[in-house]
Chain A
């Protein structure tokens, strides 16, 4: 896969299809890949990397990149392609300046997950079939890839690249029984007091670094309300519990019915807050109340929050369903 992708990147650059390639750059260790732009064969040969650590969703970079001269090639994993299409739908990316190479994906791993398993000091990683061989300061270790997967990949919703100019690897299918709402349901089954305690515990860790927002392809505002002093709700740091809640509620609401559930927010959170649960709560509610909807899966369907039917349920439905009392 890695070789095919690199070869494709070189091919597209050299045959003049594009003048830039957006991919992942090798870091200091095997696991710390950085999104990067490549403009030459040499660069690609030396530093382009694709591995189970190519988790970063590249689609958001295209908002800026597609406005630059010439065409850019981008590699999109299935979940990234949903974000890409949602951005297209919102007129944020100039499609004609992007050449999309879809790549089949079996799930991405996370160093955080590996560290969580007590493996530290990892200086090198090698993919070995279904396993990862780790060289650490404290001796060699092995971990199954499946045990190192990102949460979003454990509950992968789709292996289908929804928009591409060409595919590398075989395109997959949507996975309806991803169990991605299991945790949401578990929370819903709690009492409000328990839920409140759960979220306070999580959100009180927030350091308002904006990583979730800045990485989020749906949070593509020219100027975020939380940065805009005129909005009346601008904040630099959460100065109270309320502000912690407010930021995450409003952010989730702003991306509701636009969030593709790409999981980047939770991946990048330095405080390991399961932010995706908020988005999934909205997705689950939308699916249940207004019919199945997957943001980014097509170009035409109106996002549920910009749509209605005359016989929609009343807000009082929340008293009847929702969490147990």
Chain B
């Protein structure tokens, strides 16, 4: 375990950012934190988590795929990808870090792999930061995530006087070695972990009962009449989707500037009415079906395809951001556990 005095953390940031791009969670304008490229003078946010999740850095909202040039009947395909520079993200929370595993399943391990995502994952180094002060909306523990001991290439703990670092992977250890930090006693970190776990213990949804959300109950959950009531106030916006660290649906679109056609992909939301719209209609005609799809995906379809792992990490963003306060916890509580 390594240690950096709180006062020196920005020196570390400076050093890291000299070699590769460094993102840290910093306050962005009003009342929101966000991963921003580190520049001198920037300070770490006091907020627990960023408004948008860390997935943005591996799976950006808009990403150019390739270009076409058309002349007459001829088409030219232009691969416009630049080499992705290596980058470091500091301050990823345990929940967001777990979300990378969930995205990896889809983008990396399901053949064929998505090369855009793959390149970013290969070039990105994740430094997680344990959550000193979880919020009431946090329920990562329900998914077996320990906010006191997040994964990542390097794990960090913030204490009153210092940051403690532990390398978890070769990549992480290599970076730590480069930084030439002071060795530190693990005990301090352990104390911090205990303090965090004590709070995590008190989280209102920390022990959210998810029994019944599995492949065996797929049809039963799908047919549950309570979806109608759960979804009745849903506005059909994409807020939950876009702040979600695990949502991975995307659309492929084109932009024609008159000279060339840019094909790009961008996030899409299964909550949108046109998500499955075809020339002759949609198979999810009302918000009920769309709402059901989103939560069935997270709680049933995803675990069914990936060995029981849920497609949710309990970051609580949707709980805070949904305009009408309908969210995965309400769904789980209504349809799961003893109510199943």
Do chains A and B make direct contact within the complex (CB under 8 angstroms)? yes
Residues of B within 8 A of A270 (CB): 51, 239, 242-243, 321
Q: Which of B133, B255, B330 is close to A120, meaning CB atoms less than 8 Å apart?
A: B133
User: Are B325 and A272 touching (Cβ within 8 A)?
Assistant: no
Interface centre among A32, A236, A271 (most CB of B within 10 A): A236
User: Are B135 and A35 touching (Cβ within 8 A)?
Assistant: no
In the complex, whether B251 has a CB less than 8 A from a CB of chain A is yes
Residues of A within 8 A of B267 (CB): 236-237
User: Are B235 and A215 touching (Cβ within 8 A)?
Assistant: yes
In the complex, whether B24 has a CB less than 8 A from a CB of chain A is no
Residues of B within 8 A of A210 (CB): 236-238, 272
User: Are B239 and A209 touching (Cβ within 8 A)?
Assistant: yes
User: Are B233 and A61 touching (Cβ within 8 A)?
Assistant: yes
Interface centre among A116, A205, A209, A227 (most CB of B within 10 A): A209
Within 8 A of A (CB), among B78-100: none
Closest A residue to B202 by beta carbon equals A137
In the complex, whether B62 has a CB less than 8 A from a CB of chain A is yes
User: Are B266 and A236 touching (Cβ within 8 A)?
Assistant: yes
User: Are B136 and A268 touching (Cβ within 8 A)?
Assistant: no
User: Are A238 and B236 touching (Cβ within 8 A)?
Assistant: no
Residues of A within 8 A of B325 (CB): 27, 32-34
User: Are A202 and B253 touching (Cβ within 8 A)?
Assistant: no
The proximity string for B residues 35-50 relative to A, scoring 1 for CB distances below 8 Å and 0 otherwise, is 0000000000010100
The proximity string for B residues 232-262 relative to A, scoring 1 for CB distances below 8 Å and 0 otherwise, is 1101111101110000000101010000000
Interface stretch among B8-16, B26-34, B157-165, B307-315?
Answer: B26-34
User: Are A207 and B242 touching (Cβ within 8 A)?
Assistant: yes
Q: Shortest Cβ distance from A148 into chain B, in angstroms?
A: 14
In the complex, whether A311 has a CB less than 8 A from a CB of chain B is no
Q: Which of B232, B242, B274 is close to A36, meaning CB atoms less than 8 Å apart?
A: B232
User: Are B319 and A211 touching (Cβ within 8 A)?
Assistant: no
User: Are A236 and B136 touching (Cβ within 8 A)?
Assistant: no
In the complex, whether A188 has a CB less than 8 A from a CB of chain B is no
User: Are B330 and A236 touching (Cβ within 8 A)?
Assistant: no
Q: How large is the interface on B (under 10, 10 to 19, 20 to 34, 35 or more residues)?
A: 35 or more
Closest A residue to B275 by beta carbon equals A236
With A and B bound together, what is the CA distance between A36 and B48 in angstroms?
31
In the complex, whether A112 has a CB less than 8 A from a CB of chain B is yes
Closest A residue to B267 by beta carbon equals A237
A28-B205, A34-B324, A136-B136 are contacts. A237–B233 as well, Cβ < 8 Å?
no
Q: Shortest Cβ distance from A150 into chain B, in angstroms?
A: 13
User: Are A137 and B199 touching (Cβ within 8 A)?
Assistant: yes
In the complex, whether A72 has a CB less than 8 A from a CB of chain B is no
Within 8 A of B (CB), among A208-234: 208-211, 213-215, 227
In the complex, whether A308 has a CB less than 8 A from a CB of chain B is no
User: Are B32 and A205 touching (Cβ within 8 A)?
Assistant: yes
Residues of A within 8 A of B62 (CB): 237-239
Interface centre among A27, A121, A136, A267 (most CB of B within 10 A): A121
With A and B bound together, what is the CA distance between A184 and B18 in angstroms?
42
Closest A residue to B317 by beta carbon equals A270
Within 8 A of B (CB), among A1-60: 25, 27-29, 32-37, 56
Q: Shortest Cβ distance from A115 into chain B, in angstroms?
A: 7
User: Are B29 and A202 touching (Cβ within 8 A)?
Assistant: yes
With A and B bound together, what is the CA distance between A235 and B251 in angstroms?
10
User: Are B29 and A201 touching (Cβ within 8 A)?
Assistant: yes
Closest A residue to B325 by beta carbon equals A32
With A and B bound together, what is the CA distance between A102 and B192 in angstroms?
52
With A and B bound together, what is the CA distance between A123 and B269 in angstroms?
30
Chain A to chain B: the 8 pairs with minimum beta-carbon distance, closest first:
A268-B323, A237-B266, A32-B325, A214-B235, A270-B321, A211-B237, A209-B238, A35-B233
User: 28 A–B contact pairs at CB < 8 A?
Assistant: A27-B325, A32-B325, A61-B233, A111-B320, A116-B30, A118-B46, A121-B133, A121-B136, A122-B136, A123-B136, A137-B135, A137-B203, A205-B28, A208-B242, A209-B243, A210-B237, A214-B237, A215-B323, A227-B272, A227-B273, A235-B253, A236-B267, A237-B267, A239-B253, A267-B323, A270-B243, A272-B31, A272-B32
